Amino acid sequence: MSEAYQNIWVFVETECGKAKNVGFELLNPARELADKKGCKLVAVVIGKDVEHVAKDAICYGADSAILVEGDEYEYYSTDAFATALFELIQKHKPETVIIGATNNGRDMGPRVSCRLKTGLTADCTALDIDEETGCIAWTRPTFGGNLMATIECPECRPQMGTVRPAVFKKAPYQADKTGEIIREDIHVAADAIRTKLVERVKEVAEAVNLEEADIIVSGGRGVGSAEGFATIRELADLLGATVGCSRAVVDAGWMPHAHQVGQSGKTVAPKVYIACGISGAIQHVAGMSGSDTIIAINKDEEAPIFEVADYGIVGNLFDVIPAFIEAYKKIKA
């Protein structure tokens, strides 16, 4: 059966004609997997007026792209997108389908895999190939992030999985790279879409957008209270940064879950990550260790966070941050 299935697909999520970064990010590891297996890497783009996204996907590493366009795909709906992807897979039979673990991807992926009667490994943080079986080795956190499980789907095809945003970085954009764009005419009747978009309300989760932040100032239990985050926000505002936090902060009710970084929150990879009063539990570190530069502020010199930090400051954050703000303002002036 598996011989009938070929190539690796990456679903590039779009909304209102714009691509979400995670699709382009996933083309990077998928390119390596495709090269190892000696197969083609295909980007799948579904949306309204998104031909430019298909072209960009090729420039980010895909050999070719499959494009489905229609008015019904301007905004995500379970019925329209799941139907379109299911029909594409039925026709082209990819060996592997990789989807970003966004809210939409986490909704669509399981529905499509159930229709195909295949498995889906959710919320992955690493991808590889098992040399003995040739299967994709999907790695994801389990037991609250205390263990990492590697899962394979040896019997059914396609192999499917969702992968967290910001785990991988986009490959360099090759503006002169070309590839075939295959247009597929798939439409879903309005009465077959059981949900209707009435109004879009900007949620906190959208406003935070940790995955695409260049700078994150994150607070942990050492901040002491919800009020203590005023200092964190002041530094973040000064740097044009996004505010993050650890799980302990969310559990204490000091910050909304949308700000949480870690295995049970968001995985991030900013240019600069400033950890304030964060001890450095493995669950948190797994969500931010891909940052280009990590700066840790903690009064406990034995805190594990210093083991992953590029720069460490031992001291009370309420002394260190105001001094940092003052110094930064003088430099700016």
d(CA 130, CA 138): 10
d(CA 326, CA 333): 11
How do 41-47 and 8-12 pair as beta strands? parallel
Q: Which three-class secondary structure state does DSSP give residue 71?
A: helix
Phi and psi for 308 in degrees, rounded to 5? -105, -10
Q: Which three-class secondary structure state does DSSP give residue 255?
A: coil
d(CA 275, CA 80): 41
DSSP H/E element including 123: strand 120-124
Q: How many residues does the chain have?
A: 333
Q: Which residues are annotated as a binding site for FAD?
A: 221, 246-247, 260-264, 277-284, 298
d(CA 162, CA 247): 22
DSSP H/E element including 205: helix 204-208
3-state helix, strand, coil in the chain (%, to 5): 35, 25, 40
Q: Which residues are annotated as a binding site?
A: 221, 246-247, 260-264, 277-284, 298
Cis peptide before 158 (omega within 30 of 0): yes
DSSP state of 260: B
d(CA 148, CA 70): 40
Q: 119, 156 in Cβ contact below 8 A?
A: yes
Q: 14, 53 in Cβ contact below 8 A?
A: yes
Question: What angle is formed at CA 130 by the lines to CA 129 and CA 134, rounded to 5 degrees?
Answer: 80
Among all chains, which residue has been given the structure tokens 């990077």?
Answer: 28
